[in-house]
Chain A
């Protein structure tokens, strides 16, 4: 960090070398080309949110309806609920995963037997590789009334509950199973950051008589702080992404109240009902705008507090 600030603070401005500039621009060419074709160009489709879109008239001929789709959307009682669910689920996931992954990374780092350390790390990381297509079905089975979770609880005399259909528990299950699946990734990132800390710092601290807890608090934690900030910022941009695939495979009628999110709602409306593209797009646009606001806010915060630049 310090090093970078020294460089950016350097006052001397180099003369512009045109050839060098062209080389740099040429490097961005593939990225720009792909993004233009597959990401920017389709944004013409956003226009559908303000139209009563039909296939024959297309993007340019369908009648404009202004904010009618949004008006319809806001009048729907399930829309606000879905928005709220999205934020609650996504936020809980971000907090749980961030906190738990830091804790677990620090704890795993404390394991002194190399083989166990490696095995634990490997196993925890494993579910990350599997899609919700596969895991969602397994989870639904586990948390149903006759599932493995109740079987386990029965040893403690707990009466069986249908967790997956309970509005009280559904979000908890969604968050918990997402933590189970994805936490391995962040743990590995943090462990890598820990390994990256200069060993000389530990040595110096030990010579000063620091114990393990102090080492952790004063060297390890600060050492990975920039990584934690980066991950958190990236995560907060995801505040509106509560996990479309996961919810899609795990939810059911009974838990729409607590489990339906903007993405699943847009999917049901926009793709499963013929000719409702406009409404689906409107939900997507709403989601994008909110995401953008959250991301900007967190970015400013990180910049002000840590002097961190993302781009």
Chain B
């Protein structure tokens, strides 16, 4: 923002530059609109009548406007429970991951002459970045630890993310060593240096990692379907199941009348869309503000440096 004011005060704008700015801005606005199109379609579907949706008559505007889907949705307690569980997961998962990664990144940002044994840790974490044992052994471990159907099954296995740690290590390295030295002369230990010196100047990296981790947790669905019982499903697993339930039912059901009756319990396309839309809504509402904070954090970080 700083250099914008700067421009206005000191630079005369040439016509060719003005043309570029106008075209550039309009194209980017158009591009942004295209990015929005799928969401408009979703909203229109959720507000349309079932017949219109089945007939494929819904584009960007609702056809046969009705709020039935939302009315039904309001009484769906499991949807809102899943929603709450996802929020819980994102918060606890992100905090845990952030603590673990920050603590780990600090010593690893030192050179191996300062931190003996660094080489071992580097090899250790590199291995975890590229090899995984796969689902079955991971499942066995989680079950043996009795973590099934607890939130820990969702947040512990991914808490230590080496990729995110690398990002932090690189930022920590750029913290001026003089600051640390000064603090140490005053008698501060490593934990205090980390909290009082390194973290405040690394806010952009922290913000990035928080965002990364939070989105990962928000979007994860597979672990939820494996480890959690229906009452504790996170939102994405809940929605994944909902979208795929029709197909699963059709492939697994026997031709008995009892099983066939289940097909009548499936949600309609409009109800599906309404749930997806509501699932996205808080992000759409919260994100613009969160982003402001996020960008601000980046700017602040740079000013202090």
* Residues of A in contact with B (beta carbons under 8 Å apart): 3-4, 7-8, 13-14, 16, 20-21, 23-25, 27-28, 30-32, 34-35, 37-46, 48, 59, 104, 107-108, 110-114, 116, 118-135, 137-139, 141-142, 146, 148, 151, 180, 185, 188-189, 191-192, 195-196, 199, 202-203, 206, 211-212, 230, 234, 237, 245, 270-271, 277, 280-281, 284-285, 288, 291-292, 295, 310-311
Contact = CB atoms under 8 A, between A and B. Distances in A.
Contact of B113 (A3, A13, A189, A295): A13
Nearest to A20: B190
B3 interface: yes
A14 B180 CA distance: 15
Nearest to B22: A112
Interface string B146-169: 000000000011011011011001
A30 B35 contact: no
A127 B35 contact: yes
A42 B99 contact: no
A28 B120 CA distance: 12
Given A20-B190, A127-B35, A295-B130, A48 B136 contact: yes
A142 B38 contact: yes
B170 A310 contact: yes
A35 B125 contact: yes
B137 A42 contact: yes
A7 B177 contact: yes
A111 B28 contact: yes
Given A42-B140, A123-B36, 8 more contacts: A24-B110, A31-B165, A42-B134, A131-B220, A192-B208, A195-B298, A288-B130, A292-B130
Contacts of B113: 13-14
Contacts of B243: 133, 137
Contact of B35 (A123, A137, A151): A123
B283 A129 contact: yes
B239 interface: yes
Nearest to B128: A39
Most buried by A among B2, B121, B191: B121
Contacts of B135: 270-271
Contact of B133 (A44, A121, A245): A44
Contact of A35 (B7, B38, B111, B124): B124
A119 B38 CA distance: 17
B143 interface: no
A267 B6 CA distance: 55
Nearest to B20: A110
Most buried by A among B1, B32, B106, B218: B32
Nearest to A244: B222
B266 interface: no
A16 B162 CA distance: 27
Given A35-B160, A38-B157, A130-B219, A27 B190 contact: yes
A288 B284 contact: no
**Nearest 8 A/B pairs, CB to CB:** A42-B133, A45-B137, A45-B133, A31-B104, A131-B219, A42-B137, A24-B107, A192-B298
A34 B100 contact: yes
A46 B133 contact: yes
Chain B: interface residue count, which band? 35 or more
Interface of B: 1-4, 6-7, 10-11, 17, 20-21, 24-25, 27-29, 31-33, 35-39, 41-42, 56, 59, 99-101, 103-104, 106-108, 110-111, 113-117, 121-122, 124-138, 140-142, 145, 156-157, 159-160, 162-163, 165-166, 169-170, 173-174, 176-177, 189-191, 194, 204, 208, 211, 215, 218-222, 236, 239-240, 243, 276, 279-280, 283-284, 287-288, 291-292, 294-295, 298-299, 301-302, 305
Given A28-B107, A131-B219, A35 B37 contact: no
Contact of B160 (A38, A245, A288, A310): A38
B7 A44 contact: no
A245 B236 CA distance: 12
B116 to A, nearest CB: 6
Contact of A28 (B103, B157, B211, B280): B103
A145 to B, nearest CB: 11
B24 A8 contact: no
Contacts of A270: 134-135
A129 B235 CA distance: 14
A237 B37 CA distance: 32
10 contacts: A3-B174, A21-B117, A42-B141, A116-B28, A138-B42, A141-B41, A146-B56, A180-B35, A277-B134, A292-B131
Contacts of A127: 35, 38
A123 B136 contact: no
Given A3-B176, A134-B239, A281-B134, A120 B29 contact: yes
A149 B99 CA distance: 45
Given A122-B291, A148-B41, A202-B3, A280 B131 contact: no
A148 to B, nearest CB: 7
Most buried by B among A125, A130, A285: A130
